[in-house]
Amino acid sequence: MKKLLFLVIGLTISLGAAGAKKRAEQPLPADPTPRIIEIATENTAMLLTVGEKGDLLFRYYGKRIADPTPILEKRLTRRVDFCTDPQAYTAQGGREQRRASLAVTHSDGDLNTELRYVSHEVKSEKGVTTTTITTSDSKLPFDVRLVYKAYEAEDVIVAHSEITNREAGEVKLRNYYSANVALIADRYYLTQFYGQWAREMFMSETQLVKGVKTIYSQKHVRGVQLENPSFMIALDTPLNENHGNVVAGALAWTGNFDLSFEVDDFDWLNIRSGINPYSAEYSLAPGESFVTPDAIFTFSSEGSGQASRNLHDWARRDGVYNPQALRPTLLNSWEGAYFDFDAAVCKQMIDDAADMGLELFVLDDGWFGNKYPRNNARQGLGDWEVNEAKLPAGIDDIAAYAVSKGLRFGIWIEPEMISPKSELAERHPEWVVGSHNGREMTTTRQQWILDLSNPEVQDFVFGVFDRTMKLSKHISYIKWDANRHVENVGSTFLNDQEQSEFWVKYTRGLYSVYERIRKAYPDVVIQACASGGGRVEYGALKYHDEVWTSDDTDAYTRIFIQYGMSHIYPSLVMGSHVSAVPNHQTGSITPLKFRFDMAMSGRLGMELQPKDLSSEEKAFARKAIADYKELRSTINYGDLYRLHSPYDDKGYSSSMYVEKDKSRAVIFTFRFKYAGRDADCLLKLNGLDPAKRYRIREINLTDKPVFWGDGKEFSGEYLVNEGLNLSLRKVFASSVHVIEEVR
Ligand code: GLA
654-681: pLDDT as tens digits: 999 999 999 999 999 999 999 999 999 9
Ligand 1 neighbours, Cβ below 6 Å, are: 334, 364-365, 377, 412, 481, 483, 529, 531-532, 548, 551
Atom of ligand 1 nearest to the CA of 483: 1
Helix or strand holding residue 233 (H, E): strand 227-235
**Residue to mutate (ligand 1; options 529, 576, 577, 583; most atoms within 8 A of CB):** 529
Distance 294 CA to ligand 1 centre (A): 29
Atom of ligand 1 nearest to the CA of 412: 10
Contact 80, 59 (CB under 8 A): no
Question: For ligand 1, atom 7, which residue shows the shortest CA distance?
Answer: 531
Distance 285 CA to ligand 1 centre (A): 41
Atom of ligand 1 nearest to the CA of 607: 9
| pLDDT number for residue 438 | 84
Distance 531 CA to ligand 1 centre (A): 5
pTM for the whole structure = 0.95
Distance CA 483, CA 528 (A): 11
Distance 414 CA to ligand 1 centre (A): 9
Of 83, 244, 92, 232, the C-alpha closest to 175 is: 92
Atom of ligand 1 nearest to the CA of 530: 8
Distance 525 CA to ligand 1 centre (A): 17
Lowest-confidence range among 7-21, 161-175, 230-244, 427-441? 7-21
Residue 3 pLDDT grade (very low, low, confident, very high; cuts 50, 70, 90): very low
Question: For ligand 1, atom 6, which residue shows the shortest CA distance?
Answer: 365
The predicted-structure confidence for 314-327, as pLDDT tens digits, reads as follows: 999 999 999 999 99
The predicted-structure confidence for 374-412, as pLDDT tens digits, reads as follows: 999 999 999 999 999 999 999 999 999 999 999 999 999
pLDDT for residue 516 is more than 50: yes
The pairing of strands 652-658 and 227-235 is: unpaired
Distance 380 CA to ligand 1 centre (A): 15
Question: For ligand 1, atom 11, which residue shows the shortest CA distance?
Answer: 531
Distance CA 42, CA 20 (A): 42
Q: Helix/strand/coil (H, E, C) string of 318-347?
A: HHCCCCCCCCCCEEECHHHHCCCCCHHHHH
Distance CA 420, CA 379 (A): 7
Distance 572 CA to ligand 1 centre (A): 21
The predicted-structure confidence for 443-467, as pLDDT tens digits, reads as follows: 999 999 999 999 999 999 999 999 9
Contact 653, 559 (CB under 8 A): yes
Helix then strand count (H, E) for the chain reads 12, 37
Distance 222 CA to ligand 1 centre (A): 12
The predicted-structure confidence for 117-135, as pLDDT tens digits, reads as follows: 999 999 999 999 999 999 9
Residue 96 pLDDT grade (very low, low, confident, very high; cuts 50, 70, 90): confident
Distance 412 CA to ligand 1 centre (A): 9
Q: What is the DSSP letter of 91?
A: B
Question: For ligand 1, atom 4, which residue shows the shortest CA distance?
Answer: 334
Chain center to CA of 56: 30
Question: For ligand 1, atom 1, which residue shows the shortest CA distance?
Answer: 531
Chain center to CA of 188: 23
Instruction: Determine what percent of the chain is predicted with pLDDT higher than 90.
Output: 91
Distance CA 335, CA 1 (A): 49
**Residue to mutate (ligand 1; options 224, 331, 364; most atoms within 8 A of CB):** 364
The predicted-structure confidence for 473-509, as pLDDT tens digits, reads as follows: 999 999 999 999 999 999 999 999 999 999 999 999 9
Atom of ligand 1 nearest to the CA of 364: 10
**Cis, bond preceding 582 (omega within 30 deg of 0):** yes
In whole angstroms, how far apart are CA 56 and each of 82, 134, 137, 164, 299?
10, 10, 12, 18, 21
Residue 23 pLDDT grade (very low, low, confident, very high; cuts 50, 70, 90): very low
Contact 211, 260 (CB under 8 A): no
Distance 30 CA to ligand 1 centre (A): 62
Question: For ligand 1, atom 2, which residue shows the shortest CA distance?
Answer: 531
Task: Report the pLDDT averaged over residues 632-657.
Answer: 97
Of 39, 302, 280, 283, the C-alpha closest to 181 is: 39
In whole angstroms, how far apart are CA 548 and each of 646, 709, 717?
22, 37, 38
Distance CA 364, CA 611 (A): 18
The predicted-structure confidence for 544-592, as pLDDT tens digits, reads as follows: 999 999 999 999 999 999 999 999 999 999 999 999 999 999 999 999 9
pLDDT for residue 29 is more than 90: no
Q: What letter represents residue 125's amino acid?
A: E
Residue 75 pLDDT grade (very low, low, confident, very high; cuts 50, 70, 90): low
Q: What is the DSSP letter of 138?
A: S
**Residue 509: exposure state from Cβ atoms within 10 A (0-12, 13-18, ≥19):** buried
Contact 579, 595 (CB under 8 A): yes
| pLDDT number for residue 80 | 52
Helix or strand holding residue 400 (H, E): helix 394-404
Radius of gyration of the chain (CA): 27
**Residue to mutate (ligand 1; options 412, 444, 561; most atoms within 8 A of CB):** 412
Q: What residues contact residue 161 under an 8 Å CB cut-off, 6+ apart?
A: 89, 101, 102, 144, 145, 146, 147, 176, 177, 178, 179, 291, 292
Question: For ligand 1, atom 8, which residue shows the shortest CA distance?
Answer: 531
Q: What residues contact residue 186 under an 8 Å CB cut-off, 6+ apart?
A: 236
Phi, psi of 388 (to 5 degrees): -75, -30
Contact 599, 555 (CB under 8 A): yes
| pLDDT number for residue 201 | 98
Residue 353 pLDDT grade (very low, low, confident, very high; cuts 50, 70, 90): very high
Distance CA 58, CA 271 (A): 11
Distance 162 CA to ligand 1 centre (A): 37
Of 392, 393, 395, 373, the C-alpha closest to 382 is: 373
**Residue to mutate (ligand 1; options 365, 381, 484, 576; most atoms within 8 A of CB):** 365
pLDDT for residue 424 is more than 80: yes
Domains of the chain: 17-319 (2.70.98.60), 641-741 (2.60.40.1180)
| pLDDT number for residue 11 | 29
Distance 481 CA to ligand 1 centre (A): 7
Of 105, 107, 100, the C-alpha closest to 19 is: 107
Distance 534 CA to ligand 1 centre (A): 11
Question: For ligand 1, atom 3, which residue shows the shortest CA distance?
Answer: 531
Choice between 540 and 32, residue whose per-residue pLDDT is larger: 540
Distance 334 CA to ligand 1 centre (A): 7
| pLDDT number for residue 1 | 36
Distance 569 CA to ligand 1 centre (A): 21
Phi, psi of 285 (to 5 degrees): -70, 160
Distance 224 CA to ligand 1 centre (A): 16
| pLDDT number for residue 570 | 98
| pLDDT number for residue 76 | 52
Of 190, 177, 213, the C-alpha closest to 100 is: 177
**Residue to mutate (ligand 1; options 331, 551, 552, 579; most atoms within 8 A of CB):** 551
Of 97, 103, 112, the C-alpha closest to 163 is: 103
Lowest-confidence range among 83-87, 133-137, 616-620, 702-706? 83-87
Task: Report the pLDDT averaged over residues 521-545.
Answer: 98
Task: Report the pLDDT averaged over residues 420-428.
Answer: 98
Atom of ligand 1 nearest to the CA of 531: 8
Atom of ligand 1 nearest to the CA of 377: 12
